[in-house]
Amino acid sequence: MGEAAHPTPTALGFRMPAEWEPQEAVWLSWPHRRATWPGKFRPIPPVFAELVARISRFEKVRINIARELQPHALALIKRAKTDPANVELFSHATNDCWCRDHGPIFVKDRRTGELAITDWSFNAWGGKYRPWNLDNGIPAKIGRALGLKRFSIDRVLEGGSIDVNGAGLLLTTESCLLNPNRNPRLSRGQIEETLRENLGIDSVLWLGSGLAGDDTDGHVDDLSRFFKADGIVTAVERNRSDVNYGPLNQNLERLRELRTPGGRRFTIAELPMPKAHSYRGRRLPASYANFLVINGAVLMPAFRQPMRDAEAAVVLAGCFPGREIIPIDCFDLVLGCGTLHCVSQQQPAAGKIPL
């Protein structure tokens, strides 16, 4: 007889909390790979320093960073007027900075509030950027550093490819999770079952494809995000001649057809897209949907488009009443094909905290 299977996180009572639930910290991985921003790396570490400073006003910032990079990073962080009491460096070397995708996905026990991590396989978005061995080892290192239970899952999954409402629903895209460069031997049904078994969700809601220029094959955190249990904010393109108009309109139509477990329509907030942003002839996946929710605030990517940036901020303020909306200039950061949500991973607060 074969060995009995280990209990899954869901079977043990764990679930993935929604991003707006109380957080202990936000994890980042310090940027150092110059090829990610060819010819434009110099402004990137200061952007990260600003991000650290902004988050540190509200909660802890924990940074994966090789030891040799720490002195320069600390100088930038200090210059950005960060709260030093809320910054912790961990000598965890990485290949790149996309902590949303190579970091752990935290889960929390429904009954006790115990925190644990799910450690999925990371293959650099279908083997696009070598090497990725250091990135793939980050969840285990964080688990050891925090002394948390770790569930090792032999399936490829990136944090930016999913979004949850904390109440049983998960939003994702077919273009990413069904792409054969991730889990080619798994059917849609098997992928859904894997998500149910490990993230404490009941149902998977599928959108179609992602933005032009998105090298992740269509991560949902550039498209559509839950802002409450029955509310979804989604990127829309008004320019019919834009390459993103068709895919985003199709996703919007899918969202309108979806129903909550109680059979009601979702509240849908439409988030404008920034005007087309390109670099060296390549369209970049600039999107206001790549915001980061933290305790008391929402950090929103801005793209030096005053009217569009302001309009997006108004929409997000309506979605997250009581939270400060803080724009952060991501004009250069998006050259790496991601912004604020892509570079971060929230660590939920442990314990039994009322929602």
Q: If you write DSSP's letter for every residue of 143-181 in order, what string do you get?
A: HHHHT-EEEEEEEE--GGG-EE-SSSEEEEEHHHHT-TT
Residue type, 278: S
User: From the CB of residue 95, how many other CB atoms can be counted at a distance below 10 Å?
Assistant: 22
45 contacts: CB under 8 Å, gap ≥ 6: 30, 31, 72, 73, 76
Question: Is the separation of the CB atoms in 9 and 148 below 8 Å?
Answer: no
Question: Is the separation of the CB atoms in 61 and 88 below 8 Å?
Answer: yes
342 is annotated as an active-site residue = yes
Pairing of strands 231-236, 149-156: unpaired
| Nearest-angstrom CA–CA distance, 256 and 265 | 7
Question: Is the separation of the CB atoms in 114 and 104 below 8 Å?
Answer: no
- Which is the catalytic residue, given 97, 176, 337, 342? 342
| Nearest-angstrom CA–CA distance, 53 and 43 | 16
Residue type, 75: A
Place of tokens 């550093």: 145
Sign of CA dihedral 306, 311, 317, 320: negative
E strand or H helix at 292, and its extent?
Answer: strand 292-294
Residues serving a catalytic function are 342
